[in-house]
Every structure is written in structure tokens, then in C-alpha cells.
Structure 1
Amino acid sequence: LGSIERSGVNFYYQNPLRGEHARYPWHGCPCCVGNIPRTLLAIKDLTYWLNAGKDTLYVGHFVAGECTLPNVAGGPLRVKQETRYPWKGKVAMTLHPDAQRTFSLKLRIPDRNGSRLYTAQPGTTTECSIQVNGTPAEASVVDGYATIRREWTPGDRVELALPMPIQRVHCDERVAPNRGRVALQRGPLVYNIENVDLQIDVRELVLKPEAVFREVWRPDLLGGVMALQCDVPALLAVPNYARLNRGGWSQVWLVEDPAKATPEPIPGKPLPRPDLDPRTIDKVVFGNAPSEQAHKLQQERSGTGAFQNRSWRDAHDGGWFSYELTVDPKAKNAVLCTYWGDDANNRRFQIRVDGRKIADQKLEHEKPGAFFDAAYPIPADLIGDKTKVTVRIQAEPGATAGGLFDLRIVNVE
């Protein structure tokens, strides 16, 4: 579900647990474009199934709706399911066999206690309550299913209540990137915290064990979601599937123990360049909101990140980004870009100034293992007596522009 943007137009091939890249409209392996929504649509066909003897009905998904199964224990069975799962843990099913029939009903009971790799607290293994026509039912959980076998009468109602605590999930400490970190989960949903809901960058957040969350229904947010809210510190978490529909950075694994967690580089912190700073006329700092806003960032299908403690920006699938930068009419101006020398694989783009192409660039392992600069002189007639120009980095159709690790106007004299 998290692969699809709320618009239904763009999607992810990967499902990153951290980042800020928006979903995109196409992928080089196009089968995935259709397979992701097709999988979601197939859930209706996977909600119920029968054993070979047709006398055991499995309920695999909790989805509000109604259907008729043609042969359960010798006759048709109409099932009506009422639920707001995954927002609420209550599920009600009304069974309408064509006559009194004996069969087993197996209800899937999720185990939210984690695995050998993950632990979740508080645990919820096999904790649930089941009633049939308002009376508690005896139903032991075996292999993930609670079984009720009885003679069913038209109109029998089964009510299942699943626990939905807010859980903290920890990873095996042998997984180094997750060491000292925690994730939030409620029911089947993992949650993200996003910069758009914070006063600080989520990568600077320390989510201490004593921080208490509560669920809050937010009909006004992301089409209606059960958010997790914390008062001290003031935090809001949204379901992972709905992440990155509002821009900014989004993250699942949050620092809980700074002594154990590996610090993350944060885009937007200026990097000194003593070799360039003296002749720099203007520069922009990628990922730094004040700098990018001051330089009037415009973009389409572009994002930022960090690599080796340097901020970068790129654009994919023919996207672009642009900034308004200061020039000196009395100097010989050039656009200077910094690249990572190992970048390759369909990274083709144009450098444009005030709408005119001044250079083509293709990255193809130019300087393995090192950063390198490229300067593109701006024709004097493009500047004239201007003091500002718009520099646009434009990806070729289907290609990626960048990443750029520095963008500035320099005096090349």
C-alpha cells in the first residue's frame, strides 16, 4: 500500500524506511507499475478460503464487506464482515448459511510480538477475545488461527476483539544501522515521523523510552488516519504507507539511545571550501531550507540527501531543479557543480541559465572514489547587466540529473 501515492498516479519500486524522495510515475522495469495495484486489488480474493474438504473456512483478512461462498459444508454461505480494521481491533462477522451446517471457522490471530530479528513491547501474542452471539467462545490459537467448530445457524454473529497497543519495536543489535534505534507500531501498521510535523529535523530527534504515545483519529490528515501523538516531546507519527505525501524527510527507525546509534548526516549544513570560497559570488546549500528558499528553489521530481557528510540534490525521471543565484556583471562568471566520481548509470542532464542550455553533462565514473568539480562558463551576453540569473539542472527524459554536491557561481578570472 505504501508504494502508491495518495493521488494514485505515482509509485515506489522500493519502499525506503527513511528518506524524502517522492514517488514517481514510471520505472525501467514496468511490470511493477501494474503489479503493485494489482496485488492490492487481489486482497478481496484472499480474504476467505477453504480446505480441500470444504468444511473449514479460513478468514485471512479483516476487511469490511459481504460475499457469498458457493460451497461451505455442502451449501452456499453468505458472510458479512463489519470492521474498521486496522484503525480499530474489533471485527464482527455475520454468517448466513442456506441451512444449519456444521463447519470450522478459523480466524487469523496476528502475532505482534516480533520475530527472531525484532522484538515488540508490549507483546500481544494470541491475546484476543471471541464471542458467538454475545457469549464468550472457547477458541485456542494454533498456528496463528483461532478455531470455532459448531453447527452454524443463519444469522449467527461472531465478534473478535484484537489488541491494538502502541508498541516499541527494537531490532537485533547485530544490525548495525538500527542499533540504538526504535520503531513505532500499532496493530499491523508501522509508523513514520516526518519533518513536516516537527520543529526540528527527525534525524536530530531522540525518542526516549519514557515518551508516551496515544492514538488519535485524524480525519483531516492524509485522507483520514489513526495517528500516534506524544505530548512530551510534542510529536506526531503517521502510518508508514501514507509517508512522503507532504514532502520533507520521513523516517521509521528513530534514535532512542544516542550512545549506541550511528549519527546520521543531515543535509543542509554548509561545507567549507577554502579553495573556492574566496572567488565564490553566490552559492546554495542543498537541503538547507533557508538557503534554498532564499535562492527561490523550484523543482519537479527532485530530492536531497547526504553522502560522506555532504549534502546533495538530484532529479529523476526527467525532473529538474532551479535556483536564482547572484552574478557579477563585471566578472567572468561560471556555474560550478561538484559531483561524486563514482556516479553513473543514466545520469544525463543539462545546465541551463535563464532558459538557455550552456552545457550537457553525463556522469560515468569520472573520478572513482573522489569528488570532483566542473565549471561551466556563462556567456557574457547571457548576463549583460544582470545581477541575478536562474540556474536550472534539467534531467534528460527518463534520466537522472546529478547528484550535485555543490552549486555556486564563481569568478573564473
Structure 2
Amino acid sequence: MAVSSSLLPAHARPLPLSSVRLLPSVYANAVEVNRGYLLGLSADRFLHNFLQYAGLPPKAPIYGGWESDTIAGHSLGHYLTALVRTYEQTGDATCRERANYIVEELARAQAARGTGYVGALGRKRKDGTIVDGEEIFREVKQGEIRSGGFDLNGSWSPLYTVHKVFAGLLDVYESWGNPTALKVATGLAGYFADIFDALNDEQMQKLLACEYGGLNESYAELYAITHNKRWLAVSERLYDRRVLDPLEAGEDKLTNFHANTQVPKLIGLARIHELTNRPEPGHVAEFFWEAVTKHHSYVIGGNADREYFSAPDTIAAHITEQTCEHCNTYNMLKLTRHLYAWHPDGTYFDYYERAHLNHVMAAQNPKDGGFTYMTPLMSGAERGYSTPKEDAFWCCVGTGMESHAKHGESIFWEGDGTLLVNLYIPAEADWASRKAKLRLETNYPFTPESRLTLTALPDRQHFAIGLRSPGWAEGKAKVTVNGKAVAAERARGYLLVKRMWKQGDVLAITLPLDLRLEPAPGDNDTVALLRGPMVLSADLGPASEKWDRPDPSLVGENLLASLSAVSSEKAIYASKGIVRPADLKFVPFYSQYDRRSAVYFKRFTEAAWKVEESNFLAEQAKARDIAARSVDVMHLGEMQPERDHNLVSEISYPVSYRGRNGRDARSGGYFEFTLKCKPVEMVLQATYWGDERERSFDILVDNVKVATQTLKQDRPGKFFDVEYPLSTDLTKGKESIRVRFLPHDRSTVGPVFGVRLFTAKKDANVSL
């Protein structure tokens, strides 16, 4: 980053969320919808396992979804933080009272155990029964550590769940000083510190191969509160060398790493840097941020395909229905705030604004408060929202609760007596250090002007105000004071005005909202359309209607000139003659809650389209034909799909290769899973890599062998599909089948990079 200018502060901090109140807007509406969602949830249902496993009677039945799995308890941690942020954002005392109630119940459960531990996570034993997950930690303390990446001794990412509860408790304490919250958090910290102390470095690294969330951040925060150096030492020891050492060396080796597993680790390093002033953790966090935002991010600011990073600058090859897990962006925005505080630079908030508007706002359904897990960018894909209150409680429901509780947290910042406005969201704020009141009025990004009024200022004061001028504005932003143009200093993405301010002064900025095309990393001819910070998408119709047409493409020499405003104040545009197969309307992507969209488009010149059209459409038709006949798809090697399909395995491991995830099984092992089916002739399709060393394995359906597959190095450089026809004898009278992959002696299965089950061509129109 460049050195600080005379007006831009060297460091910055946000105005407290409790000092900001949102004015009417989609953001204020999101907070209110989320507040209703939060208050409609039952604290006692979240507390069920915490009490039951502590030997206390639960007060209500447990929730379903992930809360009924071995990861139970993570949602309560998110819920605590969401209640805290909602209280700060709105002043709703009910949220504070509910958080305090939860803390008292956790304290009761912790006291009943008597070990310092408090938790709801379960442990699945070999016989399939689920019991109190604390027993795995006794095994871990003895050095017995078994993990495939997300499982630890029969529990699903248990340290991840511990982190969420830990973080929620600390948020309650830091917001209003609840001493019980700190006591419970300290007891929990001591319990796990004792476990970590019993492990040597090799055992610790083996443990950290299992997802542990931002546990290092929570220990660092506990140190910041208590000044007990033991907690800082634990925080620094929670360091996954396999992932973090290359980043410290300035190497982007993120390919095929589970994305959200990594981001919290960097947030923890950022906090360690702030508390110790050691430069190395800060450098690692900065390098990671640069790598992700510049080389691994989609146009909406999200990252990862099917939860994993692909190779750098390959976004164009990964535009699928499984893009942009919400948790990733939630955590990237947290990391951005840390880095910005160290070095105020508008570039950070150019990213923040993009991800906040286009991804976070797309991830909440404003009708009922449901949340997306993924935000799909494949043309025609439907967003899938959680059903409120009952059946999901995915990780992204948890981060969704938090994200939509705090839309005012990053609008206003201050440093060295200067006010910085980073997000143009309608809001009022108290600026305590100058005893001032602020009012930001805007309909941006739909209209270009934003107006900041000093509604209260006790006396004339001389200071600077900086308004962020985004990089895409290309220096065309203009500022006025009380309606008159003024000279402003341009510094690192800001227009700064320093003068003697008085009550009633109005500082305004006007930003150009021109259309532009942005290529996807990896292919300059795969493009998205933006207007200012807002991603526009083609409206492909309601989600209730099936999308089975070719992906739209852009054809022409001057594409932007062929887009005309239908309503510039609503950012709605129409195309004329450039979209194939037919013209479409373009609208804000985030607002397509219950509609289908196209975000990325292949673009062609007229001459290139004539050459490409027949092949392009034929490939699209073939892929969509298979998709239309598909009854179920299994994404092997990916956490949630494997759980959804009840995968069980022995001596079997997830793998990643050339940007694709899969699973193998070694000699003596196997893996099997459930696929939905129809009672007709069907085709089982499996995907393999064409350059494997020779290996053989059997494929069984409901314990009947349907094929023996041999792989060898006969199709180098590509993946390929093999189809296995299934007769009606295997599907008659069934709604699902179990598919098993079984290696031959001294051989290996696959790896298999996905399995699909679809109806045979002649049965394509048969329905149940």
C-alpha cells in the first residue's frame, strides 16, 4: 500500500454499530426481516443438546437439519452473535435479554459437567448411535486422532463448533459486559488448552487437519480481554502449517483447499498481528486477501466452486450451480475490515461493497428470512433458500443470521480526527469524538448522488471528511459542499475535503453509474455486466418454471451500445439484437430472489458466432438433455453432498485433482451412497480421469454387480464419462438405490469424480 497522505489517516476504526441507525432501504428491511427471524427461533431448542449431554433435562425438542447431526451447537454460537449485533444495530432489548438467558443456561450446563467443557456436538459410534461428543476430546488428549478433513473421531468438525460457541460468548461479554459470558468462555478455553498442551507438534498438526474455524481468533480475543498470555500462546499454536506456510512464503497454493476452512484462520492471524505487532501474521493475511480477491473471486465477490478454491484465474471454467458459499464471503468481509483498519485504502472497500451488495444481499430471502448456502452463477440455476426455523441450520444459515444483523457496521470510520464514509447506505450516526450527528441520505447505487449532512455539531470545527471514490469511477466522481463544487484531495480511493465545518453543512458525492463489461478470470470472452458496484443479470423467468433453454450469449461488436435503460432509477435495461437466442431484460442480480438469472455470458463477434453456433448449441443441448433426464447427482469428495446422500465408507478418502473433487477407496475398503431413482430403465454415469495408473473395481447397485471398471492411461489430459445401463429389475418399485464402489484386491477405486443417475433415453418422459 502507498504511504499515507496528509489528510488520509494512517489507521482507522469503525464507528460503533450501536451508534448507527439505518434509514429506510433494502438494508434496513434486511435487518428487520432478520430480527423477526431471530426472535421467531427458540433458544431452548438450540440448547437441547447442551443440557441433555450435561445430564440436565432439556426444555424443548432439538431442531432438525444440522442441529440434529453431530455438528449440533454451531448454530447457537451464531445465534448469540446475531442477537448481540441486532441489539447493537436496533436497540431491541429483547435480543439482549435472550442472549443473557442463553448464557445463563450454558453456565448451568457447564457447572453440571464440572470440567469446563460445555457443548452440544455429538459423536457417532461405529454402531451408528450418536452420543455426547465430549468423549472424543478425551481420546484426542491421549493422542488418538482420526480425521479425513471434516470428521474427527466420529464427530463433524467439532472444533469448528466449539469456535462458534466461544465467539458468541465473547461477543456477549464485549458488547455489554456480561460477566457470566466471560466466565463460561474462560472455562471452555481452559478445557481445550489442557487438551492442546498434552499434544506434541506432530499430533497438533494432525488435529488441525480437521476444520477448526477461527478458534485461533477466539483465543486471541480472550487474551485481549484478560491479558492472560496463556491464551495468546494457544492462539499462536493453532497454526495449520500445510495451508499457512505457503502463504507466509508468498505462494498461492490454495487450489483444491476447502475455502471456508481457511478464511477464519487468516482472520485469527490478523487479530494476532494486531495484538502482538509481529509483522508476519499480518503479511500472511494480506497476501491471502490479495490472492482470493484478485485471483479466486467471482464478479459478485464470492469465491469457491462446490466449496473449494480452484486454480488461480480459472473462474471462467467454474461457473456452476455450486458457486459462492455464503460463509466464505461473510469471513472475507471480516478479514477486509481488519486489513482496512491497518491501512485505510478505498480498494478494500471496493471489494467489500461489491461482495456486500451482490452476494450478502442475495443470500437472504426478504420474504421469509431464509438463507442460501451457495449463490449459483450458472445460467438458469435456482437459488435454494433455507426454510425458516426448522429443517436446515447449515453453516450459511448461521453466518446469514449474523450478516443481516449488522448492515450499519462498516459505513462510517474515523482516524486521526478524520471521518471516512465507505459505504453509501442510508443511515444516521453519532460521531462521539466530535459530539456530532450525521445523516447519510442516498438511493445509491440506483441513483448517483449521496448526501452527508452534519445534523448536529456543537461548534465550528476544522477537520477532514473523506468520501470513497470507487476504482470503477475512474476519477469521474464529483463532490460539493452545500451545493457548490469544491476542490478535494484525491488519495487512495478517497475524495477528502478539509474545512471549517458547521452544523447543517452538506457534503455530497456524485458517482458515474455507467455500464461496463468485466471479464471472468481465465477467459476474456466470458463476461459479466455491471453498473457501478452492482452486478446486473439477465432475467430468465420465475424459479417455479424450469429452465431448459441454451445459455444466452452476447454477439456483436459494440455490446454496451445495444443496451438501453428501461428504468435507470431501478437499474433495469433491455438488450436489442445482441443476445442469442433472444433479447433479454437485465436487472440487479441480488434482487432475483425467486427468479432465474444469467450472470456470465460468452461473447462473440458476428463472424465468430457463425462458426461457433452449431457446435456451441449442440454441446449445450447434450448437457441439458442429460440434466433434464437426471434424477440425482452425487458430488463425491464434498462434505454436504456426501452427507445428503448418506455416504458410508471404509479406507476411502476425498481427493481433488485438476479442479475437480472426487473420492477413492483403497484395497479392503469401499464407499457407497444413496441415489434417488425412478422405476424405469436408468443409466448410472461416473466420471474418471483418463491418465490413471491401471486399477480395477466393481460397481454394485443394491448389492448386485452391474459393472467391472478398469482404468488405465489411455485418455491422457481429460476427464471422461462412462455409462452403466441399469435394467428395470434393479429399479422396479424403488424410489432410491444404494450404489457401492468396491476395489479389487490390491487395487483402488477411481478416484471417481462424480456420479449421476438419469433415465434412459426412451424413458426420459416417464414420471413417478
TM value normalised by structure 1:
0.62
Q: Which position in structure 1 is the counterpart of 2:198?
A: none
Structure 1 256/49 Cα, relative in aligned 2: closer, same or farther at 3 Å?
Answer: same
Residues 199-242 of structure 1 show CA distances to partners (whole Å, capped at 9, x for unaligned) of: 994525333233421333399xxxxx522212335321222323
* 1:63-95 Cα distance to aligned partner (Å, 9 max, x none): 1121212113xxx11111111111111101111
Match of 2:425 among 63, 67, 92: 63
Listed as ranges, the gaps of 5+ residues in structure 2 are 1-359, 635-640, 646-673, 690-700, 712-719, 740-753, 764-768
Q: Does structure 2 conserve the Cα–Cα contact (< 8 Å) formed by 1:58 and 1:105?
A: yes
Matched, 1:50 2:50: no
Q: Give distance in 1, aligned partners of 2:420 and 2:566.
A: 32
Measure, in 2, the Cα distance between the counterparts of 1:200 and 1:285: 8
Name the residue aligned to 1:347: none
Say if 2:680 and 2:732, in contact at 8 Å, map to a contact too: no
Could you tell me how far 1:99 is from its partner in structure 2? 2.0
Q: 1:340 aligns with which of 686, 689, 710?
A: 686
Where do 1:142-157 residues align within 5 Å? 142-157=491-506
Displacement after TM superposition at 1:253 (Å)? 3.2
* Correspondence 1:35 to 2:387: no
Whole-Å separation in 2 of the counterparts to 1:315 and 1:250: 28
Of 710, 717, 724 in structure 2, the residue corresponding to residue 373 of structure 1 is 724
Q: Which amino acid aligns with 1:46?
A: S
Distance 1:39 1:334, change over 3 A: closer
> Contact (CA 8 Å) 2:373, 2:384: kept in 1 or not?
yes
- Label 1:243 to 1:253 Cα distance change in 2 as closer, same or farther (>3 A): farther
Name the structure 2 match of 1:186.
Answer: 531
Q: Is the 8 A contact 1:195 1:201 kept in 2?
A: no
In the alignment, the residues of structure 2 paired with residue 321 and residue 267 of structure 1 have an alpha-carbon distance, to the nearest angstrom, of 26
Measure, in 2, the Cα distance between the counterparts of 1:107 and 1:395: 59
Q: 1:125 pairs with 447, 468, 474, which one?
A: 474
Q: Are residue 407 (structure 1) and residue 767 (structure 2) matched?
A: no
Alignment of 1:8-407 (within 5 A): 8-13=369-374, 16=377, 18=379, 20-25=381-386, 30-51=394-415, 53=416, 55-72=417-434, 76-95=435-454, 96-112=456-472, 124-170=473-519, 175=522, 178-196=523-541, 201=549, 203-211=551-559, 212-217=562-567, 225-233=570-578, 234-243=583-592, 245-247=594-596, 250-257=598-605, 259=608, 269=621, 285-287=625-627, 317=644, 334-342=680-688, 369-378=720-729, 403-407=756-760
Deviations 1:188-208 (A, max 9, x none): 0122224339x9945253332
2-side partners of 1:157 and 1:217: how far apart?
A: 28
CA contact (8 A) 2:408 2:427 kept: no
- Shift in Å, 1:19: 5.8
Q: Which has the higher contact order (CA 8 A, sep 6+)?
A: 1
CA offset at residue 394 of structure 1?
8.6
Cα RMSD of the aligned pairs, angstroms, is 4.7
Change (3 A) 1:244 1:69: closer
Separation of aligned partners in 2, 1:107 and 1:374:
63
Change (3 A) 1:228 1:359: farther
Distance 1:209 1:342 in 2: 40
Aligned-pair distance for 1:182?
2.9
What SS is found at the alignment partner of 1:190?
strand
One-letter code aligned to 2:373: Y
Give the unaligned 5+ runs of structure 1. Answer: 113-123, 220-224, 272-283, 305-313, 324-332, 344-357, 383-390
How many residue pairs are counted as aligned between the two chains? 318
Provide closer, same or farther for how the CA distance between residues 218 and 321 of structure 1 changes in structure 2, counting only shifts above 3 A: farther
Which one has the bigger helix percentage?
A: 2
Compute the TM-score of the two structures, normalised by the length of structure 2: 0.35
The answer to whether the 8 Å contact 1:267/1:287 transfers is no
SS in 2 for 1:58: strand
CA contact (8 A) 2:467 2:495 kept: yes
1:255 and 1:68 map into 2 onto residues whose CA distance is: 48
Counterpart Cα distance in 2 of 1:362 and 1:20: 35
Aligned partner of residue 541 in structure 2, secondary structure: helix
- 1:316-346 CA-to-partner distances (Å, cap 9, x unmatched) read 95799887xxxxxxxxx95222312449xxx
Q: Is the 8 A contact 2:554 2:603 kept in 1?
A: yes
CA contact (8 A) 1:170 1:181 kept: yes
Q: Report the Cα distance in structure 2 between the residues aligned to 1:246 and 1:367, rounded to whole angstroms.
A: 44
Question: For 2:383 and 2:676, how far apart are their aligned partners in 1?
Answer: 14
Would the aligned equivalents of 2:478 and 2:510 in 1 still touch at CA under 8 Å? Answer: yes
Q: CA 1:92 to 1:64, structure 2 compared with 1: closer, same or farther past 3 Å?
A: same
Percentage of pairs with the same residue: 17
Question: Hey, what's the Cα distance between the residues in 2 that align with 1:253 and 1:316?
Answer: 33
Counterpart code for 1:335: E
Instruction: Tell me the distance in 1 between the aligned counterparts of 2:731 and 2:450.
Output: 71
Q: Report which of the two has the higher share of strand.
A: 1
- Letter of the aligned partner of 1:210 in structure 2? N
Q: Supply the distance in 2 between the matched residues of 1:104 and 1:208 (Cα, whole angstroms).
A: 47
The alpha-carbon deviation at position 40 of structure 1 amounts to: 4.5
Between the aligned partners of 2:448 and 2:534, the Cα distance in structure 1 is: 12
Tell me the distance in 1 between the aligned counterparts of 2:511 and 2:567. 18
